[in-house]
Amino acid sequence: MSDDCIFCKIVNKDINASIVYEDDKVIGFKDLHPVSPTHILFIPKKHIKSIDHLEEGDSAIVAAILLGISKYAKQIGISENGYRVVSNIGKYGGQTVFHLHFHLLGGRAHSWPPG
C-alpha cells in the first residue's frame, strides 16, 4: 500500500472503479479513458511500481494477473478474435500511473508497431 497511489485506493475501495475481475491477488477494472471497446486494467493488490520493480517473490502475482486476463477474455468472448496486453514502463514506455498494471485491449484490431 502506498498512501499517494490512486490504484492502491481502488484496491482498498477508497475510490470507486468499475471492477470486473477479482481474486486474492489481483483486480481488474475498466479504464477511465478507454482506447478500445474492451479496455480493462489488471493490477496486483500489492503495490509494485512497474515490471521493472518486480522481485523474485512476485512471480505468483504476475502469473495470477496473466491467468486472470486470459480467464476474463474467454468469459467476455474476445479470445477468438484475439486481443492485446500492454504494460507501460517508465518515461519512454509512457507510464503515467506508477502501480503495475496490464492493459487488456480488445474488441477491435490493433495495429503494429505501436506509436
For ligand AMP, the closer CB: 56 or 98: 98
Interaction of residue 98 with Zn ion, rule CB under 5 A: no
Instruction: Out of 3, 4, 32, 111, point to the residue binding ligand AMP (CB under 6 A).
Output: 32
Rounded CA gap, 101 and 85, in Å?
10
Stretch that binds Zn ion, among 24-32, 55-63, 80-88, 91-99 (CB under 5 A): 91-99
Least distance in Å: CB of 96 to ligand AMP?
A: 4
Q: How many angstroms separate the CA atoms of 43 and 6, rounded? A: 12
Unique residue bearing C-alpha cell 506509436: 115
Sheet with 84-86, strands from edge to edge, namely 19-22, 26-30, 38-44, 102-106, 84-86
**Which residue numbers are catalytic?**
101
What residues make contact with Zn ion under the rule CB under 5 A? Answer: 2, 5, 7-8, 47, 99
